[in-house]
Amino acid sequence: MTLRELLSRPGITLAPGVYDALSALIATKSGAEIVYLSGASLAYTRFGISDVGLVSVSEVADTLASITDRIDTPVIVDGDNGFGNALNVQRTVRSFERAGATAIQLEDQSFPKRCGHLDGKTLISKQEMVGKIKAALDARSHQDMQIIARTDARAVEGLDLAIERAEAYRDAGADVLFIEAPQSIAEMKHLTAHFGQQIPLLANMVEGGKTPIRSADELAEIGYKIAIFPGGAVRAIAFHLQEYFQQLLANGNNASFSQKMYDFNELNDVIDTAQLLQLGTKYQEKEMDR
From 3.40.50.2300, 3.30.1130.10, 3.20.20.60, 3.40.50.300, which CATH number describes the 3-230 domain? 3.20.20.60
Q: What mean pLDDT is predicted for residues 228-256?
A: 97
Rg of the chain, C-alpha, whole Å: 21
Q: Is the pLDDT of residue 290 over 50?
A: no
250 versus 1: the higher-pLDDT residue is 250
Q: What mean pLDDT is predicted for residues 230-245?
A: 96
Distance CA(204)–CA(32), nearest Å, equals 17
Strand order in the sheet with 146-151: 176-179, 146-151, 103-107, 75-78, 35-37, 13-18, 226-229, 202-204
For the chain, the structural domain boundaries read: 3-230, 238-280
Percent of the chain with pLDDT over 90: 88
Q: Is the pLDDT of residue 253 over 80?
A: yes
Q: What mean pLDDT is predicted for residues 139-162?
A: 95
pLDDT at 286: 65
Structure confidence by residue, pLDDT tens digits, 62-104: 999 999 999 999 999 999 999 999 999 999 999 999 999 999 9
**Which among 159, 160, 179 is positioned nearest to 169, based on CA atoms?**
179
Residue 44, Cα to own-chain centre: how many angstroms? 13
Q: With bands split at pLDDT 50, 70 and 90, how would you rate the model's confidence at 53?
A: confident
Q: Is the pLDDT of residue 132 over 50?
A: yes
CA dist 115 → 81, 142, 217 (Å): 11, 29, 25
pLDDT at 116: 61
pLDDT at 288: 46
